Amino acid sequence: MTSLHPSELESGTTDSVTSSPRSEHQHDLHLTRVRFMCSFGGKILPRPHDNQLRYVGGDTRIVAVHRSSTFSTLLTKLSKLAG
């Protein structure tokens, strides 16, 4: 668990980057990966009790790419995933 200093709480700098233990290793940013949760083959439907949208059926996969990857690289990975 990350502990926050009082100055961080007051200044509003408690976003995910400053609270992440990895944020201290700025030189490793080009090595880090970004993960996307991709759902496909299902439907987006409202829940009966509160009408909030939910995803029903289909498959869900996690796709990871390097943070420095291009959008084209992400699209290539996604197209291989979908078949």
Is residue 4 included in any domain, yes or no? Answer: no
pLDDT in tens, 3-60: 444 544 554 544 555 555 555 555 565 578 999 999 989 999 999 999 999 999 999 9
Is residue 14 included in any domain, yes or no? Answer: no
pLDDT of residue 19: 52
- Domain hosting 55: range is 28-82
Is residue 23 included in any domain, yes or no? Answer: no
* Contact yes or no for 38/83 (Cβ under 8 A): no
Is residue 13 included in any domain, yes or no? Answer: no
pLDDT of residue 22: 57
pLDDT tier for residue 1 given thresholds of 50, 70 and 90: very low
Is residue 52 included in any domain, yes or no? Answer: yes
Domains contained in the chain, number: 1
* Contact yes or no for 59/44 (Cβ under 8 A): no
Is residue 3 included in any domain, yes or no? Answer: no
Cα end-to-end distance, the chain, whole Å:
40
pLDDT of residue 14: 47
* Contact yes or no for 32/19 (Cβ under 8 A): no
Is residue 11 included in any domain, yes or no? Answer: no
- Of the two residues 65 and 15, the one the predictor is more confident about is 65
